[in-house]
């Protein structure tokens, strides 16, 4: 019976090479692609799976995943990325999947020492241990630098055909891709594709965690849209920067799980949508109206906004307000 493996496939170069390395040995691989609220590049994973000729199953991170973002056991990286906790979560799910489909190992493109937050030798051990995959988590690109896994010991995987890459350089990996016959335009450029790693995104996440203890998945989705300004410890304003973001804010405000407390839109001029989250009082409304004016193009004399709040709509005059100038951008 042929050996079956489940691979985590992001579509990045490392995961592609990990899969191709096992395919070279005749191992049957199927792929999982994890999708969280913060990841992009789903097309990249689908394209990679097509190129590798393997089936791809998308797994969406569940609510439990956000708990790891809120309170990671192993801390954050440079941004708000809890990479070790995130990897443990992904491998736990992959482990369940491996058992369901009767595979004998899980494969990942991790390279020893490539990423400072999750690929140090100790991290790799911690991830393997906490995901319940002891001896069944194979990193083909660095396998020769790591203890042999059970499938290697049992002869299901030929260790000699695995690799000994380490560190941040991509040179050796690119050479391997070329040996495998990948054209230059088939080699993806390096990217985590995860907003949590972005330095500009992290302050929004930490602000949410600190200021709004009742945060829900909806709040995390909102973090990806528009310009965020903290008005007071209890109130935040989110302003669309383009037409598509204005539409997205409207959509998020109208969803059944919405936590938007008020929405303001220009009534007699062109300008952004402003969404308020948290406590809404007169000062918050005045500041939100002034923010809308600040980012509007050529508002006419007597500008008005349409205010939606508590299921009601009303027209409201807006004016400049000093609080709109001093609100902290997140």
Residues that bind ligand SF4 (CB under 6 A): 39, 81-83, 86-87, 118, 192, 194, 196-197
User: Nearer to ligand SF4 by C-beta: 93 or 321?
Assistant: 93
C-beta of residue 73 within 8 angstroms of C-beta of residue 48: no
- The residues facing 29 across adjacent strands are 5
Cβ of residue 81: shortest distance to ligand SF4, in angstroms?
Answer: 4
User: Nearer to ligand SF4 by C-beta: 196 or 222?
Assistant: 196
Rounded Cα–Cα distance for residues 306 and 315 (Å): 5
Distances (CA, A) of 72 to 34, 76, 81, 142, 146: 18, 7, 9, 26, 26
User: Nearer to ligand SF4 by C-beta: 8 or 29?
Assistant: 8
Cβ of residue 60: shortest distance to ligand SF4, in angstroms?
Answer: 13
Cβ of residue 39: shortest distance to ligand SF4, in angstroms?
Answer: 5
User: Nearer to ligand SF4 by C-beta: 104 or 118?
Assistant: 118
Q: By C-alpha distance, which of 258, 320, 328, 259 is closest to 291?
A: 320
Decide: helix, strand or coil at residue 314. strand
Query: Chain centroid to CA 47: how far?
Result: 19
How many Cβ atoms are within 10 Å of 214's Cβ, its own excluded? Answer: 7
User: Nearer to ligand SF4 by C-beta: 46 or 268?
Assistant: 46
| Strand pairing category for 105-107 and 28-35 | unpaired
Cβ of residue 52: shortest distance to ligand SF4, in angstroms?
Answer: 20
Distances (CA, A) of 10 to 45, 177, 229: 5, 16, 33
User: Nearer to ligand SF4 by C-beta: 65 or 182?
Assistant: 65
Cβ of residue 127: shortest distance to ligand SF4, in angstroms?
Answer: 10
Decide: helix, strand or coil at residue 311. coil
- Residue holding tokens 């990045």? 12
Phi, psi of 71 (to 5 degrees): -140, 75
Cβ of residue 304: shortest distance to ligand SF4, in angstroms?
Answer: 43
Cβ of residue 68: shortest distance to ligand SF4, in angstroms?
Answer: 9
User: Nearer to ligand SF4 by C-beta: 37 or 261?
Assistant: 37
- Give Rg (Cα) of the chain: 24
């Amino acid at each position: 019976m042929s050996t079956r493996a489940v691979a985590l496939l992001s579509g990045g170069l490392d995961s592609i090479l990990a899969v191709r390395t096992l395919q070279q040995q005749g191992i049957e691989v199927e792929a999982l692609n994890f999708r969280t609220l913060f990841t992009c590049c789903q097309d990249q994973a689908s394209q990679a799976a097509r190129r590798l000729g393997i089936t791809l199953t998308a797994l969406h991170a569940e609510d439990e995943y956000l708990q790891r973002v809120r309170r990671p056991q192993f801390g954050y990286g440079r941004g708000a990325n809890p990479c070790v906790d995130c990897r443990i979560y992904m491998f736990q799910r992959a482990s369940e999947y491996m058992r369901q489909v009767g595979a004998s190992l899980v494969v990942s493109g991790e390279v020893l020492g490539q990423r400072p937050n999750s690929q140090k030798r100790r991290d790799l051990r911690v991830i393997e241990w906490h995901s319940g995959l002891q001896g069944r988590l194979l990193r083909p690109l660095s396998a020769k630098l790591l203890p042999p896994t059970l499938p290697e010991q049992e002869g299901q995987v030929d260790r000699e055909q695995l690799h000994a890459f380490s560190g941040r350089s991509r040179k050796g990996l690119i050479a391997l891709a070329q040996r495998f016959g990948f054209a230059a335009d088939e080699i993806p450029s390096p990217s985590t594709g995860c907003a949590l790693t972005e330095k500009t995104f992290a302050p929004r996440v930490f602000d949410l965690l600190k200021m709004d203890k009742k945060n829900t998945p909806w709040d995390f989705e909102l973090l990806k849209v528009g310009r965020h300004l903290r008005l007071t410890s209890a109130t935040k304003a989110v302003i669309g920067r383009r037409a598509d973001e204005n539409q997205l804010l409207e959509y998020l405000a109208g969803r059944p799980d919405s936590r938007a407390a008020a929405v303001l839109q220009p009534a007699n001029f062109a300008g952004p949508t402003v969404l308020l989250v948290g406590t809404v009082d007169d000062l918050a409304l005045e500041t939100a109206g002034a923010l809308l004016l600040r980012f509007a193009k050529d508002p006419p004399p007597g500008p008005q906004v349409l205010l939606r709040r508590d299921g009601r709509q009303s027209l409201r005059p807006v004016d400049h307000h000093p609080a709109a100038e001093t609100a902290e951008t997140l």
